[in-house]
Structure 1
Amino acid sequence: MKLVDQSFYATDNISVPTEKYNSKNETSNAFYTNAHKIKDDKANEFLKHVYKQSLSVFDSLKEKVNDYNLKRRIDAISKTYDTQFLKFIVETQNQTIKTRHGTQKVILNVIDVSNGLLNRLVSFMLADLAKKDLLRNKMAVNIVEKEVKDVIQMELKHACIKFGVCRTDNTFSKFVNDVLTILLTNNDVKLKQATDAFTETFKNNEYSAIMSDDATKTFYQGIQKAESYDIDRLRPFLIIIRNIITNKHKPFIVTGHIDKRINKTIAFMNMVDIFDKNLPGNEMNSLEWNDIKNSLTEWSDGKRNDIVDISQTLIDYVKKSIDRMDSESVKNINNYINYILLH
C-alpha cells in the first residue's frame, strides 16, 4: 500500500499482528481495511451534529446573559466558530479512513477540535473584556464557563449513546501527558535523575502478565541501553511520546510507504486507548493521578527526594489497573506490546 501526502485516521480496535506475522503483506492486512472518505462514513453525521450543537450553545448563552457587551462578543465568537469549524469540516470530510474502526478516531478528534476551539474563543473573549473593564457581571461569566463545560459532556454522551464511543474528558492519557510535562519542565540534571529512577524501577519489576518472554527480554535490553543514553537523547524521546499522546486522535500525514514505524505508532496509540477506556476519570482514579502528579511536582520543586519511590508508585498503579481489566483488554495490551517490541 502506497500513500503520498495523504491524511488518514488510525484505528482503535485492530487485530494486532503478533510474532506469527512475518511478511509485510500480512502485517498490512492486519492493520488496514478498505479505504473510504470520511464524508461517506457515519462519522460525518457526528461531525455535522457537533457543528449544529455548538452553534446552538452560543444562542443559548445570548439568552441567558443580560450584559450587553457580553452578548455582543458572544455573537462575534459564534461567527468565528462558524467559520473555523466549517473549514475543519471540509478538510475532515476529504480525509480518508484507512484503518479498522478509524471512525472512532474521527469522532474523538471532532470533540477535541470543537472543545479546543470553544475554549480558546471563550477564554480570549472573557480575558479581553476583563482587560477593557467591560465585564462587570461575574455571574454571567460563570454561566458562560459552565455552558462551555457542559457542551463537551453532551458530545461525549452523544458519541457514547449513538456511536458506542464512550470516553470521559479526564483520561488516563491526559494523566500520562501531565506526568511527562512535569518531568520535562526540569533542567537536564533533574530530568536525568528522573529517567535513571524510572529505568531502575522498570528493571526491578516483572511484566509476565502483559509481555511474552521474548518481548520481556527485548524490553529489559532496551532499558539497559536507555541507562547509557545522555539527556540530549532522552529529552527528545520523551517529547515525542508526549506529542503522540497529545495528538492521538488526529490523522496521520504519511509520505511514501507505510512502514513498521507507522504500525508501531498505531499499536502504541491503540494501547493508550485501551487504558483510556478502562481507566475513566472517576474519583478513585483521579485521586491516584493527582497524588502521583503532586508528588512529582514536589520533587521537581526540591521539596522531596524520593523519585525512585514515586516512580514505583506509578508503575504499581499501572500494574494494578491492568489486573482489574477484562481478559480481552489485557490480551490486546499484550499483543500491542509484543508487536512494538518484536517487529
Structure 2
Amino acid sequence: MSLVLGIETSCDETGAGLVADGVLLGDGLASSADEHARFGGVVPEVAARAHVSAVVPMVRRAVANAGVSLSDVDAVAVTAGPGLSPALHVGVAAAKAYATALDVPLHGVHHLAGHAAVDVLEHGPLPERCVCLIVSGGHTSLLSLGDLARDPVVHLGDTVDDAAGEAFDKVARVLGLPYPGGPAISKAALDGDPHAVAFPRPMTGPRDAPFGFSFAGLKTAVARHVEAAQDAGSAVAVPDVAASFQQAVVDVLVRKAVRACREQGADTLLMVGGVAANKALRTGMEEACTGAGIALRVPAPRLCTDNGAMIAALGDLLVRAGVPATGLASTAVPTVELTGALVPVRDTERSVSERVSVPR
C-alpha cells in the first residue's frame, strides 16, 4: 500500500490530502476567497501569497487528520496546471521540496483530471468507459473517459467562451450579489421563480455543436434585462432573475450531458467541478439521468470544489497503475490542455530561450 500526498494551489484554495488505495485518510483546506471578495474576483498575486502562508499548515493538518507521519508518504502529486501561474508555482515548488526531502517520486498532474479522480474516493473505481461533465469556474467540458491513469482523455465538447462558473460570478456582479457568485446566486434563487424570465439556452440549436458550451451570451442577456428594468425605473427582481439564469444554465448542462451519454452508449455520467455542488444542477441532472436510465455519479459538495484530496486521489491512481513519475522536472503549465492525467514535462531550457530575448 502506497501513501500519496496531494497538493492543490491552482486558484484560491490551498489543499492537501493523503490517499492510500482509494481511501482518503486525511486532508486540509484553506481558502483565500474572503481576501478576493472586495475585488470581485481572484487576484493571482494575492492568491499566491495566501498559498505561501497556508501550504505547510495544510499539509500538517492532513497528516494529523490521517494519523500518520510525513515520513510515511511514498509519493507526492501536485497540480501542475491549468490555473493561475503565481499560484501554481507555489504548489509545484512546495511539492518538489517535499518529494526531495522525503526522497519519493513526484507526479505533476492535471487539475481537471483530479476533479474526475476524486469521485473514486466516494463511489469506488470508475467504469471502463463513462461520460464526464466537468463544470467549474474556469472550465465546462464533456469528456469520454476510460482508465483515468493510463488512457488519453477524449474531448466531446468544451466551452468556447465563459465557463458556467465564470458566468455565475459575472451575473452575481450584475445583480449586486457578493463573490463568489455560485453560492450567492443559488441562495438568491431559492426565493425566485425559475420561469420568470425567458433567458436563452445557448448553443442548443440544430446547427450548434452538440456538446459545445457558451455562456457569455447568457450573461449578456441577464445584463440587458437588468439594464432595461433600471432604464424603465423598475426594481430588479433579483431572486427571479437569479433563479431564471440558474435554470437556463442547468437546462443546457443537463440536455447536453444526457445526449452525450446516449450518443456515446455510456450508462454512467460523472459530474464534477465546483458548479457540480449547485443543488439545482444536482437535482435536475439526477432527475434527467433517472429518466434516461443513466447512473449519475457526483462527489459530495465539499469534494466538488478545489481540494487536495482530489490531487491525492489522482496520484494514488497513477501510483497503483505503475505510471512513471514526472519527477523534479515538473513545471507549472497554466494553460495546459487536458489530454491525460499527467501534465507533460516541458523542455525548460528551450522554453526559457523562447521567452527571453537578450538585447544585442
TM over 0.5: no
The structure that has the greater radius of gyration is: 1
TM-score (norm 2): 0.25
Q: Which has a greater percent of helix?
A: 1
TM normalised by structure 1 equals 0.26
